[in-house]
């Protein structure tokens, strides 16, 4: 309004901007009050309440948190080994990818107690956290430890700094991706050398 009064923008533009601000003030409470219905409308293929109903009675399963690059490899290895597992991701894009790949996948945030309950985490044998986001990784680890302290928790870290930041948590195993790659590279190189 002030910009229009001082002729910084055309009067018509000023009126449109004021209208947009007023409309957003009016609509925001409605959107917040109906957020779950709105998200269900957009994410029809991945309804939380319906999809999690497939899990009751599940015991000794592995929960893979994240379906990024590492999560895909983890799922592939578990499938090849005949291990009972489920994948959980809070990225709709990753959930769609997993569905296309034929994975049993659920849309949810594993740092939330309600999601952990729906996954029967207390009956799981282990949780593998493959996320890259350090903050989210820590929140999930804290939630899993608080909710199911006896579950084996395996976490992928990308560097020593990440490993140090998780040091205070009772995580079963942390795997440093770069260190593992280096070890494997040396192992393969030495096998080639010895095979000559």
DSSP 22: H
DSSP 82: T
Q: Are residues 111 and 171 in the same domain?
A: yes
Q: Are residues 99 and 177 in the same domain?
A: yes
pLDDT along the chain (196 residues), means of 10: 69 84 89 71 51 70 95 95 94 90 91 90 95 92 95 91 86 84 83 61
Answer whether residue 189 is part of any domain.
Answer: no
Q: Are residues 14 and 77 in the same domain?
A: no
Q: How many independent structural domains does the chain possess?
A: 2
Tallying the residues shown for the chain, one arrives at 196
pLDDT at 51 (0 to 100): 57
* 163 neighbors 174 (Cβ within 8 angstroms): yes
Q: What is the CATH number for 144?
A: 3.40.50.720
pLDDT at 142 (0 to 100): 95
> What is the domain range of residue 62?
58-184
pLDDT at 49 (0 to 100): 39
DSSP 110: T
Answer whether residue 27 is part of any domain.
Answer: yes
pTM above 0.85, yes or no: no
Distance of CA 25 to CAs 14, 21, 32, 33, Å?
Answer: 17, 6, 12, 14
Q: Are residues 123 and 79 in the same domain?
A: yes
Regarding beta strands 152-157 and 173-176, do their DSSP bridges make them parallel or antiparallel, or are they unpaired?
parallel
């Amino acid at each position: 309004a002030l910009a229009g009064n001082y002729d910084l923008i055309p009067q018509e533009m000023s009126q449109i901007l004021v209208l947009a601000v007023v409309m957003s003030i009016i609509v925001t409470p409605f959107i917040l009050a109906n957020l779950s219905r709105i998200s269900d409308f957009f994410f029809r293929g991945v309804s939380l309440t319906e999809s999690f109903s497939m899990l009751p009675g599940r015991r000794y399963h592995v929960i893979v948190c994240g379906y990024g690059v590492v999560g895909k490899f983890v799922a592939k290895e578990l499938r090849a080994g005949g291990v009972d597992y489920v994948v959980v991701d809070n990225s709709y894009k990753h959930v769609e990818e997993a569905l296309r790949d034929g994975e049993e996948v659920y849309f949810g945030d594993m740092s939330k107690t309600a999601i952990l309950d729906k996954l029967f985490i207390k009956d799981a044998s282990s949780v593998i956290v493959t996320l890259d986001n350090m903050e989210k990784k820590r929140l999930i680890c804290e939630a899993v430890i608080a909710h199911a302290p006896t579950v084996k928790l395996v976490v992928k870290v990308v560097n020593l700094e990440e490993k140090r930041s998780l040091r205070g948590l009772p995580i079963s195993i942390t795997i440093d991706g770069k260190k593992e790659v280096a070890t494997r590279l040396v192992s393969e190189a030495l096998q080639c050398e010895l095979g000559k």
